[in-house]
Amino acid sequence: MTLPIYQVDAFTDKVFAGNPAAVCPLAEWLPADTMQAIAAENNLAETAFFVPRAGTAAEYELRWFTPAVEVALCGHATLATAHVLFRHLGATVEVLTFHSQSGPLHVRQQPGGLLTLDFPAQPPQPLTQHPDGLLDGLRATPLSILAGPDLVAVFDTEAEVLALRPSMTHLAKVEYRGVIATAPGAGGVDFVSRWFGPRVGVPEDPVTGSGHTQLVPYWAARLGKTQLHARQVSARGGDLWCELHGERVLISGYAVTYLRGEIELPSWN
């Protein structure tokens, strides 16, 4: 049994940058443990699997797996999936709809190859106490902390975020999906971030679309603007053009194909 697989660098317009994701088109769902095994074998931050939704056009069921767990929302692998459909699988519609654990997600193809994710906003809420493991994990003290699906640690400067050398052992004890370090940006960038998720098998994610569903509401309120240019300052790095649109966050970026291939699996009866 063979399955097609694509590897796409998301939130970048050149290979070897942005966030790599694997994308596997399926005719029907594989067992969850098989999809988890494929994701572990790929050893990328995320592997996306999708199947066409019966009776609809341009609508798909979509699931995401890290090397360790299935997750409820992933931005860069959704962007990568849309790129595969538009670039390689002949999608001609303007908007694709993906049905997921986080509800319907839309991706619009813009002129020039830009893709725009339409995701639910997840505003983080302030915390008054540092969760266990956070300060030992970051090896630094943030100005403030907030909680959404991830823990958000706000710093004063981009330099502080860049200088972080976290302890993954301690961060894995923080009882959130991941830990985001963020600070104001410079040179036309409104804010920067890094995302650490050893608890879900991703020590540092290069560019985290789902994290921006939390960061954009926070920075929009703090900066008094709804359109924001964000940069994730990981080693690979990536740029995101974001807009807070009511209870939704629009996250735009580019994507580029790195490889196309096939997975060989045993056949099931």
Quote the CA–CA distance of 188 and 223 in Å, as a whole number. 13
Q: How far is CA 208 from CA 162, 205, 230, 260, in A?
A: 16, 6, 11, 23
Quote the CA–CA distance of 223 and 220 in Å, as a whole number. 5
- The residue with tokens 């630094």 is 140
Q: CA end-to-end span of the chain, whole Å?
A: 11
Listed residue (225, 263, 264) closest to 245, CA to CA: 225
Quote the CA–CA distance of 116 and 230 in Å, as a whole number. 14
The catalytic site residues sit at: 46
Listed residue (84, 123, 88) closest to 107, CA to CA: 84
